[in-house]
């Protein structure tokens, strides 16, 4: 990836006649037009293999090494837990179909930002501000950083529970990632590419070790987890069931599958998007779904139910102990999981810092010049610092306890709102003939409706009181949905200040224009135009 980044800065884009979307008077994405723009030669773009690895590298993160404990604790059933992972794969395919239709109709990098702007053109810029609020304030690396700290402590033979020692190591992890990207950005990219291999190798290792455990090669008694697999078991603080617990479990699964939409964010850099994405995306999602189900079978083959329900974020560490023992060599295995966590922190901080920087360049944020700057190290240092602040706050704010599940739910929950609006928008585009909607991919209505209903379930159910103690996790059950909605509403409030209040006070208006940037990519820029 380092070499391709260099090519991006050295190559001169060639001028070519290509279809491009131009902004209308409202700043939304309008109809397809044929006009001269700048595009890189196809030899510079990603093919099928590159697109598969792009999606795989983002999808396979720390979730599969950490969330299965919380999912089983919520359901209390081996069979139901595995069934939820299958449902997660089905919903991912549904979302993938929706994103493919949008992406092939709007062949621009940027993902759902473009899709929301295309559908929700009025009020002007509202969808953009709401999405920006979610991306900046909830685009953190806290879950990966916490998992890194917990696995390092576990490998060192320290406590299994969530404490501020592990969170302190997590702060050191994200600090290292941010400083490396700021001071030596090329080395940051190289390191997360190398560490990206670790998580794939570790996942495959767990799958094959699971086959060995099923054959009896383990150092604990047979947990008999597959006997009466759909029986709901209960223990101290786990297996309570209920709609709230199931929605939390599904949010954890959605988090683990997240990344399937990654190719849509760089759609402008993909060769022959229709052919490439329709082959690469299903291959990547299908492969990950199979690996995730096999990894969960491996956990169930070696970890007794009570241990699995209480292992929290270090479920993979407990699996290694039960299969390979408690020797120093066996304890080194969780270090590789920690390294994969570090790789994810590096990847997420890299991506979100550039997103923050791009929002600054667009002129969308307060102090836009600061966030869009490359000073002083020719890297997005200010945008990296913004990502660091948000990550550390979310990492340290929750009380000791099951903080990982809270962080995962907070990260995933607002995305259900965005997905719902995107899916509802596609239904509108299908049935409103005035929109003249055309795409190289068609998503059938039942698929859109299933995706929409699943996300509405994830939006509504977390507000329903759970059975038992409302504060069993150390905080009220409604904290993460309330915070998630508040962040989206904050985006709406900022939209009011940015487009209504300050323009009226200062005598200007906000206009948008699409331009070709220095790398030959079509981007949007917002600027203030005096009206008085």
> Over the chain (532 residues), what is each successive 10-residue block's mean pLDDT?
35 37 42 37 65 79 86 90 94 93 83 88 89 88 88 80 84 94 84 79 91 89 88 77 84 89 72 84 90 95 90 86 81 84 85 80 83 80 90 87 81 93 95 90 95 94 80 77 94 93 87 70 76 74
Q: Distance (Å, rounded) from C-alpha 355 to C-alpha 112?
A: 13
Residues 268, 517, 372, 180, CA torsion sign: positive
Please tell me the chain's helix, strand, coil percentages from 3-state DSSP, rounded to the nearest 5: 65, 10, 25
User: Reduced to 3 states, what is the DSSP secondary structure of residue 365?
Assistant: coil
- In this prediction the pTM is 0.83
Q: Which pair of structure tokens corresponds to residue 405?
A: 């599940």
Cis status, amide bond into 123, omega within 30 of 0: yes
Q: Distance (Å, rounded) from C-alpha 438 to C-alpha 431?
A: 12
Residues 148, 153, 159, 160, CA torsion sign: positive
- The full DSSP string for 269-316 is GBSSHHHHHHHHHHHHHHHHHHHHHHHHHHHHHHS-HHHHHH-GGGHH
Adjacent-strand bridge partners of 508:
530
Residue with tokens 């383990």: 218
The reported pLDDT for the residue numbered 515 is 72
How many other C-beta atoms can be found within 10 angstroms of the C-beta atom of residue 478? 15
Q: Distance (Å, rounded) from C-alpha 283 to C-alpha 240?
A: 36
The reported pLDDT for the residue numbered 80 is 93
Cis status, amide bond into 376, omega within 30 of 0: yes
Residues 197, 198, 202, 205, CA torsion sign: positive
| DSSP tag of 267 | G
3-state SS of 56-93 is HHHHCCCHHHHCHHHHHHHHCCHHHHHHHHHHHHHHHH
User: Reduced to 3 states, what is the DSSP secondary structure of residue 36?
Assistant: strand
The reported pLDDT for the residue numbered 63 is 86
Residue with tokens 């667009």: 362
The reported pLDDT for the residue numbered 266 is 66
List the one residue out of 401, 400, 451 whose CA is nearest residue 425. 451
Q: Phi/psi of residue 502, each to 5°?
A: -65, -40
Residues 391, 456, 254, 55, CA torsion sign: negative
């Amino acid at each position: 990836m380092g070499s391709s980044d260099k090519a991006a800065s050295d190559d001169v884009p060639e001028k070519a006649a290509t279809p491009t979307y131009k902004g209308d008077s409202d700043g939304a994405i309008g109809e397809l037009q044929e006009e001269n723009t700048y595009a890189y030669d196809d030899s510079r773009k990603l093919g099928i293999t590159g697109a598969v690895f792009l999606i795989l590298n983002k999808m396979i993160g720390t979730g599969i090494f950490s969330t299965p404990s919380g999912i089983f604790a919520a359901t209390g059933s081996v069979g139901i837990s595995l069934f939820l992972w299958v449902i997660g794969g089905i919903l991912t395919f549904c979302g993938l179909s929706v994103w493919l239709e949008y992406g092939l109709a709007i062949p621009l990098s940027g993902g759902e930002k473009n899709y929301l702007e295309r559908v929700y053109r009025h009020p002007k810029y509202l969808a953009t501000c709401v999405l920006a609020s979610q991306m900046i304030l909830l685009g953190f690396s806290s879950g990966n950083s916490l998992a890194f700290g917990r696995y390092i402590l576990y490998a060192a033979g320290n406590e299994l529970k969530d404490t501020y020692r592990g969170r302190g190591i997590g702060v050191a992890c994200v600090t290292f990632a941010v400083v490396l990207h700021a001071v030596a950005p090329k080395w940051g990219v190289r390191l997360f590419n190398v560490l990206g291999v670790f998580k794939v190798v570790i996942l495959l290792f767990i799958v094959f070790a699971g086959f060995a455990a099923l054959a009896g090669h383990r150092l604990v008694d047979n947990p008999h987890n597959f006997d009466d697999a759909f029986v709901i078991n209960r223990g101290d603080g786990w297996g309570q069931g209920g709609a709230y617990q199931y929605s939390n479990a599904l949010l954890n699964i959605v988090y683990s599958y997240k990344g399937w939409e990654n190719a849509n964010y760089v759609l402008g850099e993909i060769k022959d998007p229709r052919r490439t994405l329709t082959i690469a995306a299903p291959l990547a999602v299908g492969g990950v779904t199979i690996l995730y189900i096999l990894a969960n079978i491996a956990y169930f083959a070696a970890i007794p139910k009570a241990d699995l329900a209480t292992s929290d974020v270090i479920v993979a560490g407990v699996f290694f102990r039960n299969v390979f023992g408690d020797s120093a060599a066996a304890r080194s295995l969780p270090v590789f999981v920690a390294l994969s966590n570090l790789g994810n922190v590096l990847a997420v901080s890299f991506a979100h810092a550039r997103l923050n920087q791009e929002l600054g360049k667009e002129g969308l944020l307060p102090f836009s010049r600061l966030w869009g700057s490359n000073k002083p190290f020719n890297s997005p240092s200010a945008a990296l610092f913004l990502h660091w602040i948000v990550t550390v706050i979310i990492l340290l704010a929750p009380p000791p306890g099951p903080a990982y599940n809270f962080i995962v739910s907070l990260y995933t929950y607002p995305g259900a709102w965005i997905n719902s609006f995107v899916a509802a928008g596609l239904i509108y585009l299908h049935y409103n003939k005035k929109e003249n909607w055309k795409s190289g991919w068609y998503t059938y209505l039942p698929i859109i409706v299933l995706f929409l209903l699943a996300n509405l379930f994830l939006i509504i159910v977390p507000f329903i009181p759970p059975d038992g103690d409302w504060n069993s996790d150390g905080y009220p059950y409604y904290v993460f949905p309330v915070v998630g909605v508040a962040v989206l509403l904050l985006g709406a409030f900022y939209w009011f200040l940015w487009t209504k209040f300050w323009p009226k006070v200062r005598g200007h208006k906000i206009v948008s224009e699409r331009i070709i940037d220095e790398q030959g990519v079509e981007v949007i820029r917002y600027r203030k135009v005096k009206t008085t």
